[in-house]
Each structure stands twice: as structure tokens, then as C-alpha cells.
Structure 1
């Protein structure tokens, strides 16, 4: 399991603490240095049903590009942009398998996916 995180992100720190408190093994990856691959991002987008769920809409980078510009991007442009500018990716970004991603940290959702259904995904 890979956790793409950003060291100054308080939500990422909460997710890391939660994973450790629940004895869930994971590999911590610096999101800015080693962002998820385009293939992983596309799989997550397909699983969530919409690419907008991958976006860090509260970030400076998102606001500087503008939601209108991002909405008009083709899928190819969108995923290339995420890879070039990983600050656009909502974090933390947890990759367990191509059928199990968690984007952002909501304790209930993480517990449901990682504790209650630990045999899946």
C-alpha cells in the first residue's frame, strides 16, 4: 500500500497517524517528488467516476490555473497536468490496488475500506 503525502499537509499527518494507530503497513511517498503515475491517476478517476475527485481544489495551484481552464482540459491534458504539477492532486492519496484508492482523509471512509473490508482490494 502506498501513501502519497506532502510533509507540510496536516491532513496527511492525520492520515499517517491513523494508519500507524491501526497497525496498517504502508509505504510513505513524497507526493511532490514521486507523484502517482498517470495510469494510477486514471484508474482512480475511473473508480471514483469523475476526475474532479482527484483535485486539490483548495490549493493555490488549482486557483491559479482556474476551475474553468481545468474543466475544459481533455483527459490527456488533465492527467498530464496532474503529473507535471502534483500539488493539484488531492492528498493524501492512498493506493492499495487498482480497485482501492482513497483520496483525502475521512476517518470513517478509511476505516470502512481498510479495517472493515481488509480482505478486499
Structure 2
């Protein structure tokens, strides 16, 4: 199951949600402004992010800028409290599954949410007998040839 952290008015959040729906991916949506993020949940997000706070906190957000502090100035406890009081400092969307963690919307990166076994099936299904092969199959061939 995927947990999708969103906020109202976020275009990237809408894209991510639509992508998940279009790809029949089951998810739970959590609006960061109407759902209180628990301390353990925030700590889990921080642990899962590759670069910790840098991946999750928007230091360019107005709420963070007004603090006049660096991310390094915060203890984990202070950071958790800050996120709970000011969820707008989180980058969005945040998508997390058992094996994947994606922050922001990126057409390529979001595909990591698709289980590996399904990616293999999809790759094998694209062959010359497919009606869309002249379009997508040729694109794949060209990109594979360019990589070699």
C-alpha cells in the first residue's frame, strides 16, 4: 500500500494522485493540513529519505524562511514539532511504500512505486504484436540503443 501525503492546491500532488489512479495503484491519501502527523510518522519519513531533512523540508518555503535558522540548527525533536506546527514546510507530494520513497512528482521516479515484478511483465508485454508497439516499442529500442 502506498501512502500519499498531499496538500490542497498542489499541482504536483494532483498529478501524483492521478498517476496512481491511472496505474491502478492502491493508496491512502493524507492531507498534511487536515491530518496531524504523529511523531513516529515524521521520524519514519526522515529515516526513509535518502538525504534526511534535505529531501523533506522546503527551506525555500515562507514558513521556513521566517525562522531564520538552518536545518542543522534543529534537533530531531524540534524538527518534529516544527513539522507538526508548520506542515507547509514539507515538500509535496510525498509517496511512500514498503520499498519506495518518492518526494515530488517526476515522471520517471514515480515508476519506482510499481513493484519490480510488474515492471518486468510490462517490459515483456511490449512486443511487435502490440498495437502501440510502433510508438512505445520504437522509443524503447531507440533509448536502449542510445544507452549502448
Query: TM bucket by the smaller chain?
Result: 0.7 to 0.9
TM superposition outliers: structure 1 runs of 4+ over 4 Å: none
Partner of 2:102: 102
Give the aligned partner of residue 10 of structure 2: 9
Q: 1:51 aligns with which of 28, 50, 53?
A: 53
Higher-RCO chain (CA-CA 8 Å, sequence separation at least 6) = 1
* Structure 2 length-normalised TM: 0.67
- In structure 2, stretches of 5+ residues that fail to align are 119-148
Aligned-partner SS, 1:65: coil
SS of corresponding position for 1:40: helix
**2:62 aligned residue:** 60
TM-aligned CA distance change 1:101 to 1:116, over 3 Å: same
Structure 1 segments unaligned to the other structure (5+ residues): none
- 1:20 Cα deviation (Å)? 1.2
Considering only aligned residues, what root-mean-square deviation do their CA atoms show, in Å? 2.1
TM-score by length of 1: 0.80
